[in-house]
Structure 1
Amino acid sequence: MTLKTLSPAEVKVLKDRGAVIVDIREPDEFAREHIPGAKNAPLSKAGGAVATHEGEVVVYHCKSGMRTQANAARLASIAKCEAYILEGGLDGWKKAGLPVAVDASQPIDIMRQVQISAGSLVVIGVILGAGLHPAFYALSAFVGIGLVTAGVTGFCGMARFLALMPWNRRSAA
């Protein structure tokens, strides 16, 4: 079974009629910005499952639609009611000019923090390696190995470390 994709305008109509909007992103992503009234059911924790009743309609979404599409079969199997996918995810919703709840006091999501940190460390390693001593190239190599390991295993030590930082503790609630 697969889930049909609906445009943001179609989802807005369903939402206005009482459809349950389910955001499958991580809690830190949801805390920063989400569709008003959406429920957060991260794939990593709840598997996207929400309590539904017969006759309800559920619309799943993520940031761009890619995570939702990649997990469509899984989401379809847990949906106990009529279910759809929001085309383009939250980005598509915003592009359509529909309302989004934004809390700028929340930190940016962990994966963006990892990208910023890893990219910065690679650049610093290259600059120091070229300018001071070639041994500093090892910093860039170390970060590269960490990223490859994270991609292969699904465990990102840098994300775990960044999650412990004081600015990220607020969104964990």
Structure 2
Amino acid sequence: MSKLKGEDIKHEKSAYIIYCQKGGRGKSACEKLLAHNPDLNIYNISGGINEWVNEGYNVRKGEKSILPLDRQVQLSISTLILVFCALSLTISTAFIWPIIFIAAGLFVAGATGFCGLARIIALMPWNQRV
């Protein structure tokens, strides 16, 4: 999303289909592109590729296979919590503070829909499409 720019679309008369796994980022991308250039002919797959498959449409997967972003976030958070729990039990109770920080981040993500960790992980090299 951070690299997405409306001026990069050269053919305004062409139709573009924007999609993601669950539909949320695709919708945000469409809104961002249309805010920059309202004349673009853009469509979002509502519900993303997951909904597309649930409706019985075929999907051909590319060669690159990585975990979905939400699972990468879940694995990162659970690993951090396990490490800091082990550290707080074995080395110092001060390691409880990172766990509290992580819990606060999860609360904010759940309450607002904004997940800073997901934004950071999305920028990682393995998540970049070339």
2:64 paired with 1:102: no
Counterpart Cα distance in 1 of 2:64 and 2:11: 31
CA contact (8 A) 2:34 2:40 kept: no
The correspondence for 1:124, drawn from 83, 89, 112, is 83
2:40 paired with 1:74: no
Structure richer in strand, relative to its length: 1
- Assess, with a 3 A threshold, how the Cα gap between structure 1 residues 73 and 103 changes in structure 2: closer, same or farther: closer
The runs of 4+ residues in structure 1 deviating greater than 4 Å are: 142-145
CA contact (8 A) 1:111 1:159 kept: no
The number of aligned residues is 122
2:15 paired with 1:52: no
Counterpart Cα distance in 2 of 1:140 and 1:86: 37
2:124 paired with 1:163: yes
TM-score (ref. length: structure 1):
0.48
Indicate the residue corresponding to 1:140 in structure 2. Answer: 99
Indicate the residue corresponding to 1:62 in structure 2. Answer: 20
Give aligned-pair identity as a percent: 20
Unpaired stretches in structure 2, ≥5 consecutive residues: 110-114
